[in-house]
Amino acid sequence: MTPETTQTYLRIVNKYAHLFERPEVRLRFLNKTLARQAANHEKLSAALSRFKFVERSKFYPTVLNWWLYVLIFREIKAFSQSSPEHTRRVWRSDVPYGARVLFHAYRLRLVYGVLGAFALVLSAGGLFTIVVKTAQQARAAQEQGKEQLTADSRSRALAHDADYLPDYKPEKVWMVEQKDDFERYSNGLRILREYETANHRRGYYVYKPEGGVTSDELRTSPVGIVYHTSESDILPFTIENNDSIESRSRGLLRYVQDHKSYHYVIDRYGQVHRIVRDDQAANHAGNSVWADAKGVYVGLNESFIGVCFETTVSNDLGDEQLTEAQLLAGRLLTQVLRSKHNLDDAGCVTHGLVSVNPSNTYVAFHHDWVRNFPFEAMGLSDKYKVATASIGVYGFTYTEEIAGYAGGEIWAGARVAEEEFRRRAEAAGSNPAELRRSMIALFRAQMAQQKTARLAAAGREEPATAESPVTTELTPAAAEPVGSGG
């Protein structure tokens, strides 16, 4: 299938995916239906290999579109055994007349077969007709019973599969094709390169939780992904706004390109645009902290890839905060980036969970995706439950206003990290306020050290070491007064 055909099919199936409330069920419905359509397309092309004129006819794409509706009706029935209202809503929608006729013919194919056989045997007359008729009816009943058993088994399997998404398998993701204006990958992702630009080369340290670097080496490979929202002007996702939606997407892409704001932008139609190349830093995270089993990372511009969804958290978009196409594209891009750079699940997090303000010691200085990010749909574990590194390591804190951004109550990982920091202060014979002053001063020093080392490395074009005039060991003498925050 061509990219244009695939986009057409995606738009049709996406329309009916909104019948399902849960994002993972919608994604499963999309994947199942599109996969079946692609398989049917290949079988039909193989069968017509000697009759190419049929594929070139104007009627051929129409028949394929009609058949896609047949698959949609089948999948909706399989996904919605307990909700006949879904099927009724489909028939009330704008379905082509030819697709309705084809679906009814397909659904009643056994009946038509039996009636045809019955008419044939009647023409032979007599006893032979009765015997043949009885045999046909017996066989039809047997086949119908088998088909019903298969349908029931398939329904149970789909109901079970809807509870989770397929496991992430990096060996199944690789680049298939690279051109000047796009890249294509084995999982179906297409990365557009029209707005691709350059910034500076990465350079960062991995720090120990208590201070100091884990290695003198200035690292240059990305270790994770930070997911953002564009917070741009968002219109309702309807066909009437199509031209305006595209125009605003282009404006956003030009702005991001000029400011080198992210590595990737996923527009509202699910198109993935590369902005800053993976081997270079983008200006997406600023003052930020995250940690994994290898150590602590500060200033995530240097160490993490920034992925931005064209959407906003400032307005109540309901189910439209991410379109179905964006959900699918986000998952595929996550698979590609994790496979390409060997990124751990632990390093895939949202901007709201890593952003900090060292002036007032608060977390979530930027609160995009401070709640509601669909980690499961991206094939990732829930980072809202993971101890927030900025709180647990450096003692950053939060206010009621920040908890309000999170939905009225701070996320679970923040409370876990608070308790971790309290125990650290107790073990050090200090109180949390004193330890917080020391650790946030250390954070500032590490941010400055990392920047100085990166600039020095860029000037010399050789690896820098962690030797720096700033103190990187955690001692009371290193503490400096910082802004209020307790």
- Taking the C-alpha atoms of 471, 475, 479 and 484 in order, what is their torsion angle to the nearest 10 degrees? 120
Q: Model pTM?
A: 0.64
Measured over the CA atoms of residue 201, residue 285, residue 390 and residue 374, the dihedral's sign is: negative
Annotate 350-385 with DSSP letters as a single string.
Answer: EHHHHBEETTTTEE-SS-TTSS---TGGGT---GGG
Report, in angstroms and rounded to the nearest whole number, the Rg of the chain calculated over CA atoms: 29
pLDDT in tens, 353-403: 999 999 999 999 999 999 999 999 999 999 999 999 999 999 999 999 999
Measured over the CA atoms of residue 11, residue 13, residue 15 and residue 21, the dihedral's sign is: negative
pLDDT at 318: 54
Could you give the C-alpha distances from 281 to 86, 127, 301, 350, 413, in angstroms and in order? 47, 85, 6, 17, 28
Distance of CA 481 to the CA centre of its chain: 41
Could you give the C-alpha distances from 386 to 64, 381, 390, 414, in angstroms and in order? 47, 9, 12, 8
pLDDT in tens, 298-321: 999 999 999 999 999 875 655 568
pLDDT in tens, 13-58: 666 666 666 777 767 777 777 777 777 767 766 666 666 666 667 6
Residue with tokens 């902290």: 289
pLDDT in tens, 71-112: 666 666 666 554 555 555 555 555 665 655 655 665 665 666
